[in-house]
Chain A
Amino acid sequence: MNDVDSVADVIAVACLLVGAFFCLTAGVGLVRFPDVLSRMHAGTKPQVVGVLLIMTGSAIRLVGSSVIWMLLLVAAFQLLTAPVSAHMVSRIAYRRRHVRRDLLLVDELGGGPDLYRGDEPADAPPEEPAQAFVESQPDQGTGAGDGKA
């Protein structure tokens, strides 16, 4: 255990403390926010800032060794992968109607005559399983439509 003895160490410790505070903020938002989209907002954005600050503090503390490039790699991976995973989770959440539509300010995919309501949550039992099964088969629907037309 080494002591804090220079200005760089003070900066590093400040970065570590602020980064840990951002991680705590992510946890609080994850518990208190109402639906999947806002929880994901809380779980990704302060998280990335906290990890970047902690990697910066660690790199300042570990200067002189060869693992700084690995810390930089972790930060770059975090910046690259957090938007991708957040996008995929939010897309699936919108399609499965895990969105509180009364809390949305802007819904660019909904509204208008053809409201895109999304799919039913497939792990929950559907209200009418027979009709849901028929609607999940696209070939039968198109065949019936072509026959009538």
Chain B
Amino acid sequence: MTVVSVLTFAMLGGGVLLSLVRLARGPSLLDRVVATDALLVIISAGMAVFAALTRNPTVVPVLVVVSLLGFVGSVSVARYIGGMLLESANDGRPAAAEAGTAEPAGAAEPAAAGRTTTEGDRT
């Protein structure tokens, strides 16, 4: 049992350390978001391993909270970065290419309509 405990927590701790390395080194904010998500999931897995190895079910409600918190955190930071986009008012498509044809009620031009549908597929 001690061997199993040491092995499992060593592997989980290795995963935590590697995701902390990515969290420190990550060149962009999205790398850090991904690393934080993985870190929270590994932490919840470690608590589940603790609950299983000691047959101690008191930490299990914390697991639900941590898993939901990781999801909410990563999604909110991703939406925040999406709001930081320069062209976010135009929903991510380049504003200069749309400058000639972008009519707000533009069903009159078929080229503009076709472009709008393809861009809509992209979003």
Contacts and interface: CB of A to CB of B under 8 A. Distances in A.
Interface residues of A, number: 77
A17 B61 CA distance: 22
Contacts of B75: 84-85, 88
A98 B57 contact: no
12 contacts: A1-B54, A20-B49, A24-B12, A27-B17, A31-B19, A36-B28, A47-B38, A58-B48, A61-B51, A67-B51, A85-B71, A135-B95
Contacts of B30: 36, 89, 92-93, 96, 98
B17 to A, nearest CB: 7
Contact of A85 (B15, B61, B78, B87): B78
A58 B85 contact: no
Contacts of A145: 99-102
Contacts of A89: 30, 33-34, 74, 78
Interface in B45-94: 45, 48-49, 51-55, 57, 60-61, 63-64, 67-68, 71, 74-75, 78-79, 81-82, 84-90, 92-94
A92 B82 contact: yes
A105 to B, nearest CB: 19
A49 to B, nearest CB: 11
Given A16-B8, A142-B102, A1 B53 contact: yes
A122 B80 CA distance: 11
Contacts of A17: 4, 7-8, 11
A77 B48 contact: no
A81 B69 CA distance: 11
Contact of A92 (B8, B18, B78): B78
B34 A39 contact: yes
